[in-house]
Structure formats: structure tokens, C-alpha cells
């Protein structure tokens, strides 16, 4: 009996030890499962953050491209409007210059223009070109240029004069047409940048 008690006791001790070991192993397994689960959760969380971050960046890029396209579209519209305005301004200027060339003030302008050109060029072989309507100012022009040769040209539509010396091969264009053209060039140079931006 004593042997059976000892054996029983021995078995109980072994059972207790086995249960402790089993419990310890199960705890370690649970702990490892929790660590693994935590690692997986953290990895999923990191992957999710990366996916969200990429989605945000993609969305920001998409919005930036869309905004850029809208800006470009608006700049094109603005540029087109500026071009239209410039076209209208120079069309209106041409009309005003045509009206001016039919006014009383035009003769004063023409006299000043001739005097200014005469300071630059006044040779015996001088030809002065005018539009057909300005032939009526022949005496005024010849008085300033010492009896130059006066010719009608279709190069001048608005008014003014073109003086040319064959011997010196010099041409001075002081026509309203060239003045308007130079103003157009100036506007294109100075405001063209605004049209491109």
C-alpha cells in the first residue's frame, strides 16, 4: 500500500509538473501568438498607411494636374482676350488716323513732319512720296524740301510722307502707316510677354 501511495504520489507530482509545463507551454504559445498577431496587425497598419499615403499623393497629383490644366486654359483665354483687345485698339487707331488725315490739324502735322524729315535728309535728288489725297499739299511740301519731286504712292494709306534720296540711298519713312506699324511692334514686344504668360 505504501508502494501504491508512493506511486500515486509520484504520479500526482508528475501530473502536476506536466500540467505546469503544459500551462507554461500554452502560455508561451499564446504569448507567441499575441506577438505574431501584434506583428501582423502592425504590418497591416503600416501597409494601410502606405496605401492611404499613396492614394493621397495620387489624389494631390491628380488635383495639381487638373488645376494646372485649368490655369493653362484660363491663361489661353486671357491671352486670346488681350490679343482681341490689341487688335481692336489698333483697328480703332487706324480709323482715328484716317479721320485725322482728313481734319484741319493734319496740315499742321504734315508741315511739322516735313520739317523734321528735312533736318535728316534734304538732297537735290529728293523724292517725297505721299498718298493721292495729299497731293493738295504739294506747295507746302516743295517749299520745305526746296522743290523736291513729289510722287503718289500706294504704300501710304493713312498719311504722312516717305522721303528718299537716290544719290545717298537713304529712305526716311515718317508716314502715319509706319508710325502705327512701329507702335504695333512696340506693343507686341512690350505686351507680347503678357500675351504669352
CATH number of the domain at 192, please.
Answer: 3.30.2320.30
Average pLDDT for residues 6-27, to the nearest whole number?
A: 82
Asked if residue 127 and residue 66 are part of one domain, the reply reads no
Q: What is the extent of the structural domain holding 71? A: 1-100
* 82-132 tens-digit pLDDT: 888 888 888 998 999 899 999 999 999 999 999 999 998 888 889 999 999
Measure the CA–CA gap between 140 and 8, rounded to whole angstroms: 148
The dihedral built from the CA positions of residue 124, 126, 132 and 134, taken in this order, carries a sign that is: negative
Shared-domain flag, residues 117 and 145: yes
Angle of helix 2-100 versus helix 105-120 axis, rounded to 10: 100
- Residue 87 shares a structural domain with residue 138: no
Q: In the 8-state DSSP scheme, what is residue 128?
A: E
- Total domains in the chain come to 2
Lowest mean pLDDT among 49-53, 70-74, 101-105, 186-190: 186-190
Amino acid at each position: 500500500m505504501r508502494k501504491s501511495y508512493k506511486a500515486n504520489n509520484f504520479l500526482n507530482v508528475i501530473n502536476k509538473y506536466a500540467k505546469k509545463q503544459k500551462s507554461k507551454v500554452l502560455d508561451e504559445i499564446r504569448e507567441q501568438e499575441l506577438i505574431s498577431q501584434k506583428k501582423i496587425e502592425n504590418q497591416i497598419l503600416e501597409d494601410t498607411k502606405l496605401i492611404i499615403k499613396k492614394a493621397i499623393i495620387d489624389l494631390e497629383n491628380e488635383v495639381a494636374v487638373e488645376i494646372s490644366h485649368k490655369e493653362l486654359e484660363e491663361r489661353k483665354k486671357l491671352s486670346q482676350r488681350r490679343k482681341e483687345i490689341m487688335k481692336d485698339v489698333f483697328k480703332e487707331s487706324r480709323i482715328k488716323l484716317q479721320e485725322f488725315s482728313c481734319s484741319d490739324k493734319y496740315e499742321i502735322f504734315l508741315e511739322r513732319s516735313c520739317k523734321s524729315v528735312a533736318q535728316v535728309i534734304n538732297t537735290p535728288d529728293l523724292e517725297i512720296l505721299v498718298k493721292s489725297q495729299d497731293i493738295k499739299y504739294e506747295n507746302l511740301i516743295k517749299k520745305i524740301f526746296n522743290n523736291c519731286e513729289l510722287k503718289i504712292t500706294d504704300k501710304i494709306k493713312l498719311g504722312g510722307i516717305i522721303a528718299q534720296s537716290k544719290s545717298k540711298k537713304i529712305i526716311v519713312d515718317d508716314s502715319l502707316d509706319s508710325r502705327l506699324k512701329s507702335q504695333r511692334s512696340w506693343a507686341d514686344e512690350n505686351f507680347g510677354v503678357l500675351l504669352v504668360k
